[in-house]
Amino acid sequence: MEVFAAHGYRAGSFQDIADRVGMSQSSLFHHFPTKRDLLLAVLAERDALDHFHPDGVHAESFVDEITAQARRNAARPGIVELYTVLAGESVTEGHPARGFFEERFERLRDEYAEALEALEARGLLREGVRARTAAASLVALWDGIQLQGLLDRTIDVPAVLRAYLEGSVFRPAAAAPDRAAAAAPTPRHPAAAECLDGRMTDSASPAPADQPEIRIVSASREIAAPAAAIFELIADPARQPEWDGNDNLSEAAPGQRIHAAGDEFVMTNTGDRKRYNRITEFEEGRRVSWRTRPEQDAVEPGHEWKWALDPIDESTTLVTHTYDWTDLDDPTRLQRARDTREANLAASLERLAALAESR
pLDDT tens figures, 11-52: 445 556 656 656 665 665 556 556 556 656 666 665 655 667
Largest CA distance in the chain: 73
pLDDT tens figures, 139-163: 999 999 999 988 888 889 999 999 9
Give 97's pLDDT tier (boundaries 50, 70, 90). Answer: confident
CA–CA distance, 169 with 129 (Å, rounded to integer)? 6
pTM of the model: 0.49
CA–CA distance, 131 with 121 (Å, rounded to integer)? 10
One-letter amino acid at 220 equals S
Which carries the bigger pLDDT value, residue 202 or residue 91? Answer: 91
> At the fourth CATH level, which superfamily is domain 2-175?
Tetracycline Repressor, domain 2 (1.10.357.10)
Nearest partner of 305 among 329, 287, 332, judged by Cα: 287
Decide: 295 and 276 in contact? Cβ < 8 Å: yes
Give 330's pLDDT tier (boundaries 50, 70, 90). Answer: confident
The answer to whether residue 286 scores a pLDDT higher than 50 is yes
Decide: 304 and 291 in contact? Cβ < 8 Å: yes
Domain 216-357 class, CATH top level? alpha beta
The answer to whether residue 68 scores a pLDDT higher than 90 is no
Region 103-112 average pLDDT: 91
Helices (H), 211-272: 227-235, 240-243
How many Å separate Cα 76 from the centre of its chain? 13
Give 177's pLDDT tier (boundaries 50, 70, 90). Answer: very low
Give 289's pLDDT tier (boundaries 50, 70, 90). Answer: very high
Determine the pLDDT at residue 11.
45
Give 197's pLDDT tier (boundaries 50, 70, 90). Answer: very low
pLDDT tens figures, 232-255: 999 999 999 999 988 889 999 999
The answer to whether residue 329 scores a pLDDT higher than 60 is yes
Residues 6+ apart with CB under 8 A from 153: none
CA atoms within 13 A on the CB side of 166: 26
Domain extent listing, the chain: 2-175, 216-357
CB count within 10 Å of CB 302 equals 23
Looking at every residue in the chain, the average pLDDT score rounds to 79
